[in-house]
Amino acid sequence: MEIIEKIKTNKSIDNQTEIQKICLDKLQSSPLPNPRSEQWRLSNKSKLSNFLEYSVNENNENNSKFEIPYPKNTQSTIRLIIGENCQIKLIEKNYSIQKLSEGELQKYIKEQMSFFNQNENWSDLLNLFLSCKNNILGLKINGSKIPPIEIFSHASSNSLNAKTLIIFLEKNCNVELLQVNLGEDNSSLSQSTFFCLEENSSLNHGVVSYGVNKSNLLNSLNVIQQKNSEYNLGSLHFKFNYARFEIRIKQSEGNAKTNIKGMQITKKDEQISTYTKIDFDGPNGFLDQINKSLADDKSHAIFEGSIIVPKIAQKTDASQLSRNLLLSNRAQIDTKPQLEIIADDVKCKHGATISQLNEEELFYMRTRGITLTEASKLQLSSYFQEIISFIPVSKDRWDLLDKILNEN
């Protein structure tokens, strides 16, 4: 509560929008996330309050322009940076990308907020309260043969930054989109993303979040899938002191496809967690999800996933797998894949494993002269590869595997 007060005073109250007022109201009436609520049970309390310690950075113009790290932009990619002037209006022969009007944005956000559960969407409430007009990017995309899109959110040092992204994919539209969240030293980034996939649309979505030692991230992703849409998500989170990735997907009419491959790597005393909730609100839904964690040193990796299959969601086919590697005896892994099922004609399964690198595989490689370090790297790279190759746009340009394997 105190912290919310602090943010409130930190932020000018005069020009609050209607949405910000609603959010503040809800934030004040709901308690801060605490261990008693299931969604925040394992979240490190002091790390979370540390997240809120920084003062809110609303005015991007005061900062020097954000330099996007390697790789350089190429002609064929559309690159947008939230918070810097994203005046985009592309109307080509096959497609169009346009900013949502102020009215459309307000309407959509309000509608979304009516579905919010205060405990579950706390990150979104905080985000929408903090993010100012400049930091909200809303797009509607239409058409096909659209060049890959890269969208950056970044948090500058010694400040709390909130960025919001809202995208409508109109009917029959296919998009590849890579979202990159970057944290500088001593920074907090609140990123909320809302996607609406209309009928027959498909989105290959990549999320790559990486920080430096003392950066924090609350990354919330909300996806609504209309029928016959396909949503593919490949994600990677690493190098955050504290990061929380929340994924909420609703197949609003069923008959949609969702594929998720996520990965989180924790070292030192970092805590990174992934929460997913998949609602099937209609029949014939499909989900294939795998989440991998790797925890080393004194770190803590968490995965909690739930699959909710109500009566209406007959013929749902859902599978969720949580695979975890625990590499140090001071590290910790928690995982909790959950099924809540009412419909009877469904195929649902989940699984979880926690282990270290496979000793027999290591031995086999070592008997062929490959050193333990190399053999471990080979095993790790195959462990990562499955996820990384699923992240669109990035795979040819970002050298994610090298970044992970060679950084310490």
Partner 1 sequence: MGVSFVKVYKANCNKLFLDNMVNENLVKDVVKEPYKYGFVTDIETEKIEKGLNEDIIKLISQKKEEPRFLLDFRLKAFKRWQKMKEPDWAALGYKKIDYQDIIYYSAPKQKEKISSLDEVDPKLLETFDKLGIPLTEQKKLTNVAVDAVFDSVSIATTFREELAEHGVIFCSISEAVKNHADLIEKYLGTVVPASDNYFAALNSAVFSDGSFVYIPKGVTCPMDLSSYFRINSGDSGQFERTLIIAEESSSVSYLEGCTAPMFDTNTLHAAVVELIALDDASIKYSTVQNWYAGNEEGIGGIFNFVTKRGKCLGKRSKISWSQVETGSAITWKYPSCLLLGEESVGEFYSVALTNNLQQADTGTKMIHIGPKTKSTIVSKGISAGNSKNSYRGLVKMGTKATGSRNYSQCDSMLIGDQASANTFPYIKSQQPDSEIEHEASTCRISEDQLFYLQSRGIEFEEAVSMMVSGFCRDVFNQLPMEFAAEADKLLALKLEGSVG
Partner 2 sequence: MQSKMKESDPILEVKNLSASTDNLPILKGVSLTVYPGEIHAIMGRNGCGKSTLSKIIAGHPSYNITNGDIKFLGKNINSLEPEERSQSGIFLGFQYPIEIPGVSNLEFLRVSTNARRKFLNKEELDTFDFEELVKEKLEIVKMDQAFLSRSVNQGFSGGEKKRNEILQMALLEPKIAILDETDSGLDIDALRIVASGIKRISNAQTGIILITHYQRLLDEIKPNYVHVMSDGQIIKTGESDLALELEKKGYEWTDNFIKET
Q: Using CB under 8 A, list all residues that contact partner 2.
A: 358-361, 363-372, 374-375, 378-379, 381-383, 385-386
Q: Which does 385 bind (CB under 5 to 8 A by kind): partner 2, partner 1, none?
A: partner 2
Q: Which does 98 bind (CB under 5 to 8 A by kind): partner 2, partner 1, none?
A: none
State the number of CA atoms in the 13 A half-sphere of 372 facing the CB: 2
Q: Which does 350 bind (CB under 5 to 8 A by kind): partner 1, partner 2, none?
A: partner 1
Taking alpha carbons only, the member of 128, 162, 152, 138 closest to residue 59 is 162
Q: Are strands 136-143 and 332-341 parallel, antiparallel or unpaired?
A: unpaired
Options 143-151, 167-175, 282-290, 324-332: segment touching partner 1 (CB under 8 A): 324-332
Q: Least distance from C-beta 353 to partner 2, angstroms?
A: 14
Options 186-194, 247-255, 261-269, 322-330: segment touching partner 1 (CB under 8 A): 322-330
Q: Least distance from C-beta 213 to partner 1, angstroms?
A: 23
The residue among 352 and 365 lying less far from partner 1, judged by its C-beta, is 352
- Site for partner 1 contains 326 (CB under 8 A): yes
Q: Least distance from C-beta 302 to partner 1, angstroms?
A: 10
Q: Which does 346 bind (CB under 5 to 8 A by kind): partner 2, partner 1, none?
A: partner 1
Q: Which does 368 bind (CB under 5 to 8 A by kind): partner 1, partner 2, none?
A: partner 2
Taking alpha carbons only, the member of 267, 334, 330 closest to residue 295 is 267
Q: How far apart are the first and last CA of the chain?
A: 36
Beta-strand ranges (E) seen in 144-241 are 149-155, 159-169, 174-183, 187-197, 202-210, 215-225, 230-238
Q: Least distance from C-beta 30 to partner 1, angstroms?
A: 18
> How many angstroms separate the Cα of 136 from the Cα of each of 112, 147, 275, 303?
15, 22, 24, 29
Query: Binding residue for partner 1 (CB under 8 A) from 266, 314, 376, 394?
Result: 314
The residue among 89 and 368 lying less far from partner 2, judged by its C-beta, is 368
**How many other CB atoms sit within 10 Å of the CB of residue 380?**
18
Q: Which does 365 bind (CB under 5 to 8 A by kind): partner 1, partner 2, none?
A: partner 2
Q: Which does 333 bind (CB under 5 to 8 A by kind): partner 2, partner 1, none?
A: partner 1
Contacts with partner 1 in 267-286 (CB under 8 A)? none
Are the C-beta atoms of 232 and 201 separated by less than 8 Å?
no
Are the C-beta atoms of 242 and 50 separated by less than 8 Å?
yes
Q: Are strands 271-280 and 300-309 parallel, antiparallel or unpaired?
A: parallel
The residue among 115 and 363 lying less far from partner 2, judged by its C-beta, is 363
DSSP 305-366: EEEEE-TT-TT-EEEEEEEEEE--TT-EEEEEEEEEE--SS-EEEEEEEEE-S-HHHHHHHH
Are the C-beta atoms of 254 and 225 separated by less than 8 Å?
no
Q: Least distance from C-beta 93 to partner 1, angstroms?
A: 48
The residue among 110 and 330 lying less far from partner 1, judged by its C-beta, is 330
The residue among 104 and 386 lying less far from partner 2, judged by its C-beta, is 386
- Site for partner 1 contains 346 (CB under 8 A): yes
- Site for partner 1 contains 334 (CB under 8 A): yes
Label residue 74 left, alpha or beta by phi (over 0 means left) and psi (-120 to 50 means alpha). beta
**Interacting residues toward partner 1 by CB under 8 A:** 38, 311, 314, 324, 326-356
